[in-house]
Homo-oligomer: A and B are copies of this chain.
Amino acid sequence: MTPPPSPPPPPTPSLAPADLVITGCTALVHDEHEGIAFVEDAAIVVRDGAIASIGPAEETAPVATAERIDARGQVAMPGLINCHTHAPMVALRGIAEDMPAEEWFNDVIWPVESNLTANDVELGARLACAEMIRGGVTCFADHYFSMDAVAAVVEETGLRAHLGEAFFSSQGPEGRARSLEFALRHRGAAGGRITTALAPHAPYTVEDADLVTTAELAREHGLPVHLHASESRDQTDNSLARHGFTPIEVLERTGLLGLDAGVLIAHGTGIVERDLPVLERATGPVAVATAPRGYLKFAWPTTPVRALRRIGVPVGLATDGAASNNSLDVWEAMALTALVQKSTEGDPRWLTSRQALHHATLQSARAVGLGERIGSLAPGRRADIVLVDLTGPHTQPVHDLAATLVHSARSADVRTTIVDGRVLMRDRELLTVDVPTTVRELTDRLPALTDRGHGGRIQDYDKPPE
């Protein structure tokens, strides 16, 4: 006869009081192979902005706490990460609809962007942060202009962000210098919630020599690079016609695939077969951000997620700016990634709900260079947590919780959003943004912002070589 198993050791009494304890939820965690798992009736203890413990309530010692959230009927999961956006562009949501990308850029967006003031950027970023907090986004990678204003809004609203000041070669060396200065000055700001990147716009708007210098600066300062590349198949074809290399090959030749701090490539829908060995032999971290909604809208192909996964490249989820995507709804990007990948690959078994959740969590965290700090609910990780209400009729009954989250739940089911242990939205109420005032101020600015009478534009969209 074997003796009965010994009872588990009694929970260790906690010494310090917690800042926040969440109880009664089902928690989405990752197993040792990074598989998605769920812990029922979980308790999450948060201290000093980090997760102190997470596990079944019965194994969690009672702890004094400043704040307690009863999350019965809700799922706790890592906050969503918007891996590529231009947050202030919410100001232009719906301004240019139902047209091809070239017309969208050249005839509307780039002319309008020549009117942008830092104040417009600030108002747009504030509205965008409100939208993202309401949609369960806890971190966003932004690539825009007047980024000091965005950094100030991040500080004020409590979100986490990975920020880069965009530049074109047409701005001369000052553009690149501003991007570097921004990255160095804001790195680690907002109590560590802000990380930064150098942000050349794209290989078709930034010359090779400029990209080489960018890579050297990135290496010198330990900074990552965030840029658009291979956005569409046309860009790849134009790049080949122009100098015989694909945009991905340009990244390799200019040294951007060998950075210790990594490179984040936005879109990559024009990544072709010959690019795969190039990405595979990269000597620094490489990730791709996919924003599938806009690709459907522009009738572009989508990011080759399956091929990228096969060579080990993380693919994070994104919305791009709201001027093309119409929203900053990363939850929708998660569902669309699953749906569009199945359709594109012709394989209903590919991109399961659990794979979609892996993209939304760990892969997205890696894409923005925060793979060790966020992206999973585990002791020591920053407490970036969202609570998702599954009691609505559209999310019941639950036969497969991963499918319920990806395919039935919606961003509006996020009830509570927490970053660094601080509650930014509680029961759908935003605590750090005044939406009506922001909308009013932004609306007052729209006539001046959208004026195209001046005939100028900040840049030209990629055109085939003459």
Which residues does A use to contact B, with CB under 8 Å? 90-95, 97-101, 127-128, 130-131, 134-135, 293, 295-299, 322, 326-329, 339-340, 342-343, 345-353, 391-394, 396-400, 403-404, 407-408, 410-413, 433, 435-436, 438-439, 442-443, 446, 450
Contacts and interface: CB of A to CB of B under 8 A. Distances in A.
A350 to B, nearest CB: 8
Contacts of A446: 397, 399
A79 to B, nearest CB: 17
Contact of A299 (B127, B296, B343, B407): B343
A123 B273 CA distance: 51
A399 to B, nearest CB: 4
A235 B204 CA distance: 46
A296 B340 contact: yes
Contacts of A95: 399-400
27 contacts: A90-B393, A90-B396, A91-B397, A93-B396, A93-B404, A93-B408, A95-B399, A97-B400, A98-B353, A128-B393, A130-B393, A131-B392, A293-B339, A296-B339, A296-B342, A297-B342, A297-B348, A299-B343, A299-B347, A326-B408, A327-B394, A329-B410, A391-B439, A393-B433, A396-B435, A396-B439, A397-B442
Given A94-B399, A94-B400, A348 B298 contact: yes
Nearest to A394: B131
A313 to B, nearest CB: 22
Contacts of A322: 408
A411 B391 CA distance: 16
A393 B299 contact: no
Nearest to A294: B339
A234 to B, nearest CB: 12
A428 to B, nearest CB: 10
Contacts of A403: 94, 97, 326
A386 to B, nearest CB: 16
A393 B346 contact: no
B450 A399 contact: yes
Given A329-B394, A393-B433, 18 more contacts: A90-B393, A94-B398, A94-B399, A94-B407, A97-B400, A134-B393, A135-B394, A296-B342, A296-B343, A299-B348, A322-B408, A328-B394, A392-B435, A396-B442, A396-B443, A399-B446, A410-B410, A410-B412
Given A299-B343, A400-B94, A393 B435 contact: yes
B296 A94 contact: no
Residue among A95, A299, A340, A433 with the most chain B CB within 10 A? A299
Contacts of A443: 396-397
Nearest to A331: B410
Nearest to A92: B399
Given A131-B393, A393-B134, A399-B450, A346 B97 contact: no
Contacts of A398: 94
A442 B297 CA distance: 39
B393 A99 contact: no
A411 B408 contact: no
Contacts of A94: 398-400, 403-404, 407-408
Nearest to A430: B393
Nearest to A436: B391
B296 A408 contact: no
Ranked 9 nearest A-B pairs via Cβ: A412-B412, A326-B407, A130-B393, A296-B339, A94-B403, A94-B400, A131-B393, A94-B399, A296-B343
Contact of A393 (B127, B293, B296, B353): B127
Given A98-B348, A100-B348, A396 B127 contact: yes
B98 A345 contact: no
A127 B393 CA distance: 6
Contacts of A297: 339, 342-343, 348, 407
Nearest to A293: B339
A399 B92 CA distance: 7
